[in-house]
Structure 1
């Protein structure tokens, strides 16, 4: 009879087989007869009997197989902590490395440079996974952005605007402009492996519109779709609509914009000076689009337009944009969700 190999048995099965051996042994069955009855090898039977003799029934439970946690690691715990902290706090370029992002290759090179430990790509990935780090699409941030200006905005300037709006019964709007094109197809499509799917070409019929919009943390959205150049005249037209809406609700408009040139031009400044009692405009730190909740509205709209069959005319693009914006305006909870992004939660 073929003998069972205990190495390939599950731990629970091995435990039960050991108990079976001991029960026969306690009944004074000879060892070789136990071997014949159970189909186990002599070393396995002998080991079960010896374990029982040394520690009783509790000693029969097999120990977990494989390496124990941490066994075989090439990095010491303090080295692991140092590498993880560096990845979280610095970019590769700040450490004079020729990598734009923390890829496995970059981490592997950094570890070899700092500690002389050469890991494989796979082992580096295992360390990253163990440290709770996952590959993610990074947020782009301009080199020109000044961190001290961002801190000043978050800690002083915006809280002051918020206090004024509350004291004067006003409402804070976050505004931005975006472009819409009918050829912007987004997302992924399933296809056979190795055969890249082809989207419907809109060749020769590229249509473009602009949109200016605002959102509030109370879930309100305002927008104006523009066919043609976006200039100070269209911006003032949008301001007038915002002011009219604010007057209907008895609220002054506190509008926060980025530093696009048209926002600072003389005609706009003159118009704002004349209507200061109804609307005031404030400006985000330069090169800081991630601080604007209205950017999330723009992304929402572009995703909605880009995941549908491309339209061929400007009128249909205008209608599709208006339809989605009307849907957004009818669902305040959707607008409020834009403010849950970690970078704009300060404005929620």
Structure 2
């Protein structure tokens, strides 16, 4: 009779087999008789009996197999903390490494630099997984962006604007401009593995429109599609529409924009100076579009336009844009959702 190898049994199964051996042992069966009855090897039966006699029934439960947590790791706890902190605080290029992102290969090189240990890519991946690090699409930041200016905006400038708006009964609008083209195809398309789907380019003339819009954390959206060049005249025209809407609601407009050149030109400044009782404009830190909730509206619109059949003419492109913007305008909850992005939740 082939003997059953207890080394390859699951822990729960081994526990039950040991209890079976003990039950037979307590009934007076000898070791060899138990071997014949159970099909276990002599060492397995003998060990179960010895465990029971030394520690009782509780001693029969087998210990977990394999390495205990942390056993066999090459990095010490202090070294692990150093590597984690470096990944969170620095970019590879700041450490003069030839990597743009923290890939496994980059972390492998970092560990070699900091700790003098050369690990395999697989081992580095295991460390990253253990630390709770996951591969993520990075947020793009301009090199020219000044972190201290962003911190100043988040901690002091915007809270002051928000406080003034509450005191003066004003409504804060976040504004931005974007361009729409009929050749922009976005999103992903399902296809069999290994067969990349093909998006057909629009033949003929490339059509382009501009749009300026604002959103508020109360769910309101204002917008104007511009057929032609965007300049200070179109911007002032949009300002006038915002002022009319503000007067209708009995609210002054506090408008937050980026630092596009047209926002600072002399005609715009002159017009704003004449209408300071109705509208004031504030400016985000330079090169910081991610701080503007209206960027989420732009992405929403472009995704909607880009996932449909491309519009071959400008009127069709304009009709598609107007249709989606009317949908957004009539759905305040959708607009409020833009402010739930963690990066702009400060404005909610």
**Same-fold call, TM cutoff 0.5:** yes
Shift of 1:34: 1.1
Q: For 1:133 and 1:204, how far apart are their aligned partners in 2?
A: 47
Look up the match of 2:213: 213
Q: How does 1:156-195 map to 2 (within 5 A)?
A: 156-195=156-195
| CA drift at 1:293 | 0.8
Counterpart in 2 of 1:132?
A: 132
Residues 155-194 of structure 1, C-alpha deviations (whole Å, 9 max, x = no match): 2222222122212211010100011112222222222222
**Distance in 2 between the 1:184 and 1:80 partners?**
44
Count of residues paired in the alignment: 348
What's the secondary structure of 1:18's corresponding residue? helix
Q: Tell me the equivalent position of 1:201.
A: 201
Aligned to 2:107: 107
Q: Gaps (5+ residues) in structure 2?
A: none
What's the counterpart of residue 249 of structure 1?
Answer: 249
CA shift, 1:309, in A, is 2.2
Q: Structure 2 length as normaliser, TM-score?
A: 0.97
Bigger mean CA offset, 305-314 vs 61-70: 305-314
The residue aligned with 2:275 is: 275
TM-aligned CA deviation for residue 214 of structure 1: 0.2
In the other structure, the counterpart of 1:258 is 258
Pairing of 1:326-337 with structure 2 (within 5 A): 326-337=326-337
Equivalent residue number for residue 61 of structure 1 = 61
SS at match of 1:277: coil
Instruction: Note the C-alpha offset of 1:304.
Output: 1.5
Shift of 1:205: 4.1
What is the rounded CA distance, in whole Å, between the counterparts of 2:334 and 2:128 in structure 1?
35
Cα gap change, 1:150/1:52 in structure 2, threshold over 3 Å: closer, same or farther? Answer: same
Residues 200 and 310 of structure 1 are in contact (CA less than 8 Å); yes or no, is this contact kept in structure 2? no
CA distance in 1, matches of 2:125, 2:205: 46
Alignment-derived partner of residue 151 in structure 1? 151
Distance 1:89 1:75 in 2: 20
CA distance in 1, matches of 2:195, 2:106: 31
Q: Give the Cα separation in 1 of the matches to 2:55 and 2:163.
A: 73
Preserved CA contact (<8 Å) 1:111 1:118 = yes
The 8 Å contact of residues 210 and 227 in structure 1, kept in 2 or not, is answered as: yes
Structure 1 position 75, deviation (Å): 0.3
Q: Does 1:50 align with 2:50?
A: yes
> Partner of 1:338 in structure 2?
338
Mapped contact 1:236–1:268 kept (Cα < 8 A): yes
Q: Deviations over 1:296-334 (max 9, x none)?
A: 111111111122222222222211211111111111121
Q: Where does residue 304 of structure 2 map in the other structure?
A: 304
1:215-243 CA-partner distances (Å, limit 9, x unpaired) = 01111100011111111111111111111
Q: TM-score, length-normalised on structure 1? A: 0.97
Match of 2:72 in 1: 72
Separation in structure 2 between the aligned mates of residue 277 and residue 176 of structure 1, nearest angstrom: 22
| Counterpart mapping for 1:80-91 below 5 A | 80-91=80-91
1:93-151 per-residue CA deviation (whole Å, 9 max, x = no partner) reads 11121211111111100101111111111110111111111111111111111222222
Q: Which region of structure 1 is more displaced relative to structure 2, 197-206 or 280-289?
A: 197-206
CA RMSD, 1 decimal: 1.2
Query: Does 182-191 or 272-281 show the bigger shift?
Result: 182-191
Per-residue CA deviation, residues 183-211 of structure 1 (Å, 9 max, x unaligned), is 22222222222221111332334321111
- Equivalent residue for 1:10? 10
State how far apart, in whole Å, the 2-side matches of 1:115 and 1:151 are: 33
